[in-house]
Chains A and B, each alone.
Chain A
Amino acid sequence: MASNKKVLLKVIILGDSSVGKTSLMNQYVNRKFSNQYKATIGADFLTKEVTIDDRTVTMQIWDTAGQERFQSLGVAFYRGADCCVLVFDVTAPNTFKSLDSWRDEFLIQAAPREPDNFPFVLLGNKVDLEPRAISAKRAQQWCQSKNSIPYFETSAKEGLNVEQAFLAIAKNALAQQNQTVDLYNEFPDQIKLSNAQRPNNGADACGC
């Protein structure tokens, strides 16, 4: 098991089919890109280690299938995520319109404690392609309306902004983790709990 300095972050990638989720992940982890489209079946998992402020952070990246028939499996994976990456294709307006439903579905299924502060990141992928259907401004406006989530324009093909985007993802998730108090200190002692249920607390048998 790892020492306290090590952190593992669970990152979920969501978006319509063929927006480039798998390609982004492959570019990021393996620095490879293929023009061939291979639909993800169910989900795909990759690991990438990054160092942020002296901390070794392992990103456990969950690349889910965008196709609707795999949705029921996908949602089972949302719980316990540390960050959610939403991806759309800047040349395909429908993939941008779906963002709201991806985000809503994620929040329902993952049920994070503070949905308003849950770390999302938006990636507009395929900026190497023409013609563009969604402008950077429009995407940024959407981000503003969602409690200003960070936005990156990426090209998995050319490796543009991919590294930076994932670094931001890791930082965001990490910041969220650091905010929460260590649970260890929150817990009252077990014996005390059962002690409190005693009607007469006068003679403290527990000695605590």
Chain B
Amino acid sequence: MATSAPQTALAIPGQLLGSASKYQPGPGTHIHESNLYSSLLGAVHVVQPAKAPGPVKRLTKITPAASPAELPTISVSRSGVSEKREILPEVGNTVLCRVVRIMPRQAVVAILICGDTVLDAEWQGLIRVQDVRATEKDRVKIYESFRPGDIVRAEVISLGDQASYYLSTARNELGVIMATSEAGNTMYPVSWKEYRDPETGLGEPRKVAKPY
């Protein structure tokens, strides 16, 4: 079992993958006594580090000498075993969510998509009033930013409390990406803070995400 694993395509949990001095740990691995072991059942991938683009002409600042990022990264992925694997929202991920409920101090959302993956489980998120936008935070009103049913692109800023992840829309490209008006029509964005109904012509305030 404790053979040199990188040649074999398959790893099972607890299989030795190599020394921690030869590889960097990627997803699906763990370190025990300065050795890398697989922690998942799946295929082993070794990714070589990206080469520095050409020789650097002149040093303009002092850098730390040997950076440890030169090691190839070894990871175990579930591809080939099973497509369905739960993933969790992590801090820094961009998620798509639907607004469930709005309150004066916060909006409660259901997280639907994390990165590129559609989540099976339902995770609850919370956008607090101070996380809606980066400027003029004291003038933010939740009901002028979100309405129940809106689809919002947001970033995870914390694992939050026992119930919900804390999300933020305090960037230009984050905010409402799909909204329906009170008349029930899908609206189009007209500015950073307004959506307009194409049929009635009425505008509604939202925290609008900048289109890509």
A and B associate in one complex = no
